[in-house]
Chain A
Amino acid sequence: MLEDRFASGRSQFADHPPERIEPTAKIYVRVRIADLPEVQLAQLDTGAAWSILSKEIAAAIGAVEETGERVTMSSRFGVHQGYLVRLPVTFIAEAGESLVTDGTFFVSNDWPLDLTFLGYSGLLDSIRFALDPQANHFYFGSS
């Protein structure tokens, strides 16, 4: 058995959006974006280079284009003009401690979804995380 303390916090993840069942399971974890007080779900997407933030949430926290760098990104929805910004994100724990980190997010007016995606570069590459799919537990900690 390893003695390493792998994680500092744990939360329950959802494997589908609360309002509908989808044909394939995905991983939705609880986060707090910047200093917003509410809890939201964000989809873990380790295959994505960048995290994506809803344009409406970005506007609410002042993460406007002037604070970032303009880029053009491609996705399955097409080509999107937007910008990259750096923001704090809190992985909210139900047990242990919540983890506050910062990450780089893509924001675009063309992006058709209002869900937050947590991508690998500049966010997930800074933390430890693991899943227990039988219990729907998401473990996270500082790497």
Chain B
Amino acid sequence: MPRAVRIPQTDAIPSYVDRIREHVEREEVGAARRVLAEALREGSTEPSLANWERLLAPGKVLGFSPALDSDRSAEFGWLAEHGKKYRREWVAVLGPEMLAHSKSYAELRAELDKLKPAGPPFVHFIE
């Protein structure tokens, strides 16, 4: 008489979070969102699921700001003329003048905090 044989399971079932990460790394955003929805529907309590819920959500409009930018042709003109001298550096330009430059963005920011420019500078990394 035939008897049922128990097949040993060697492969653990991947967690929802592992499956989500795998899809994300393959740029399969739709599939990652579907696994996330399934996990939430099933009431999964896997840690970091809430983080993935936030990361995989479509962007959310947070509001509107009346703050407007000015014409930046002076800044672009400065960069076109002098930018090549600052390759691999961050530069901050306001109007036709450079305010600061540095190989480090953190140093550039610290310098700008000290300078307190009259308006928001244009900051750019020159590749």
Contacts and interface: CB of A to CB of B under 8 A. Distances in A.
A104 B124 contact: no
B11 interface: no
Given A40-B124, A98-B64, A122 B58 contact: yes
A95 interface: yes
Nearest to A89: B59
Contacts of A97: 64-66
Interface string A86-116: 1010101111011111111000000001110
A126 B68 CA distance: 21
Nearest to A57: B105
B127 to A, nearest CB: 7
The range of chain B's interface size is 35 or more
B122 to A, nearest CB: 5
The range of chain A's interface size is 35 or more
Interface of B is mostly: mixed
Contacts, number: 146
A46 interface: no
A54 to B, nearest CB: 7
B25 interface: yes
A103 B61 contact: no
B125 A98 contact: no
Given A72-B25, A125-B58, A90 B65 contact: yes
A50 B99 CA distance: 32
Nearest to B33: A121
Contact of B25 (A8, A57, A73, A115): A73
Given A60-B106, A102-B60, A114-B127, A95 B55 contact: no
Contact of B56 (A36, A60, A104): A104
8 contacts: A18-B76, A30-B72, A39-B121, A50-B27, A86-B54, A97-B64, A100-B61, A122-B56
Interface of A: 8-9, 11-12, 14, 17-20, 30, 32, 36-41, 49-50, 54, 56-57, 59-60, 68-69, 71-74, 84-86, 88, 90, 92-95, 97-104, 113-115, 121-127, 142-143
